[in-house]
Structures are given as C-alpha cells and as structure tokens.
Amino acid sequence: MRKVLSLILVLLLFSPSYALRRKRKKKQEKSTTQTAVETGGGVSQEDLALLRADFNQLQEKIRTLEEALKECQTTSSEAMRKVDALQMRVKALEEKIDELRLQLKNSSGNSEDSHTREELYKKGFDAFIAGKYEEAITYFRQFVNRYPQDRETPGAMFWCGESYFRMNNYAAAASWYEKIYTLYPDSQKAPTALYRLVQCYRKMGKNSRAKKYERELLRKYPNSEEANFVRGGKY
C-alpha cells in the first residue's frame, strides 16, 4: 500500500500539469514580492497621498508659527520703546520734583542759601551716610546748580546718582552717571560712573546698553579698578 502511494506521489510531482501549476505559482509569488518592494514594502499610492497631505499641513502650520513669532517680536520691540519713553518721563518728573522741593525749602525761609560751598557738600554727604537719600539729593543738586564749574561738582553728581541707586531708581541714577562721564570724562569719578552705568542697565534688563558701557570702560580706562571688575565678571 505504501509503495502504491509513493508511486502516485512521484507521478504527480513530475507530471506536466503539476509542473506548470508550480511554475505559475512561483511567478505569481515573485511578481507579488517585486510589487511590494517597488511600493515601499506594501505602501500604496493612497498611503503616499495621505503622507503628502500631512506634510503640506505641517508646512502650513510652520509658516503660521513663523508669522506669529515675527508679530510677537515686533510687538515686543514696540513695548520696549514705550517702556524707555515712560522711564524718560519718570526721570524728568523726578528731577522736576527735586527742583520743586528745593524751591519750597528756600521759599520757607530755610537757611540753605547762607551755606558755604563746603557746608553744602558736607550736609549732602552726611545725609547720604545717614541713609536720607532724598535729602542728600536735594543738597547735592543745589551744589551742582550753584557751582557747575567746581572741582567737587562731579562728586556731587556722583552722590546724586548713588542716592538714586540706593533707592533702586536705576533710570534716574543712570542719568546722573551719564552726565559725569559726558561732562567730566577726566574726573576721578568717571570710571566709577561708567561701571555704575553697566550695573544700572543690567538691573533694568538692558544688556545691550550695558555691554556698550563695558566696552567704553575697558577702552577709556583699561587700568582702572572698575575695568578689572568687569574683566572678572564682578557686577
């Protein structure tokens, strides 16, 4: 029985019709495999179309985000300009308040007009040491107004700036430090005023302007102690 079955199996395997069917099957399998490879492992044209659509949507979203970013940057720049303008107005108002305070004291019969140059400067410095910064500003401003060409005028301006600095009013302090550097660049206070300008603008978040004064300090006063502070990153 087994011999008969084996004989039948051999006849089937080597029969022409069976061989033809096997050949067709192998050809079909090869064609299927080649098609799968050509289409990316079974990816159809429909799948590719969907991928292209997703890609186009992503590109559109990127363009939208880029436009939104540009708009935010423009808005930020405008806001910074407005902040600068407001700070300038505040600074001008503070100086006006100081002038009015001084006029009020003089009109009330205060004896400040009778103070000598030395007394006026000393009163301002004593007030500063005592932490009475507004009073110190009043005395030092009066000194600057009376003696604009005096050798102590840069010092009086500096202590005005220091008084505002101690009160955390960095915009007003910077205006005094800038006056020292602009009007009295050869003064002993000029390097310190530049260093303070760096600190003021750093505290106000205006790093580009702070960098500008850093470069100016290193260029103009390279051997000063303040220049060494900047080189060492001490702010």
DSSP-assigned letters across all residues of the chain:
-HHHHHHHHHHHHTSHHHHHHHHHHHHHHHHHHHHHHHTTTT--HHHHHHHHHHHHHHHHHHHHHHHHHHHHHHHHHHHHHHHHHHHHHHHHHHHHHHHHHHHHHHHTT-GGGG--HHHHHHHHHHHHHTT-HHHHHHHHHHHHHH-TTSTTHHHHHHHHHHHHHHTT-HHHHHHHHHHHHHH-TTSTTHHHHHHHHHHHHHHTT-HHHHHHHHHHHHHH-TTSHHHHHHHTT--
Phi, psi dihedral angles at 41 (to 5 degrees): 75, 35
Report, as an integer, the average pLDDT of 51-58. Answer: 75
pLDDT value, residue 61 = 79
Judge whether residue 67 has pLDDT over 60: yes
Residue 51 pLDDT grade (very low, low, confident, very high; cuts 50, 70, 90)? confident
Q: At what angle do helices 153-166 and 170-183 cross, to 10 degrees?
A: 160
Greater confidence (141 vs 5) lies with 141
Greater confidence (225 vs 44) lies with 225
Report, as an integer, the average pLDDT of 108-118. Answer: 60
pLDDT value, residue 31 = 54
**pTM for this entry:** 0.55
Residue among 110, 167, 168, 165 nearest 139 (CA): 110
Among the residue ranges 33-42, 60-69, 226-235, the one predicted with the least confidence is: 33-42
117 contacts 143 by C-beta, under 8 angstroms: yes
CATH fit for domain 83-231, picks 1.10.287.610, 3.40.50.300, 3.30.70.3280, 1.25.40.10: 1.25.40.10
pLDDT value, residue 18 = 44
Q: Where are the domains of the chain?
A: 83-231
Percent of the chain whose pLDDT exceeds 90: 47
Tens digits of residue pLDDT in 128-181 = 999 999 999 999 999 999 999 999 999 999 999 999 999 999 999 999 999 998
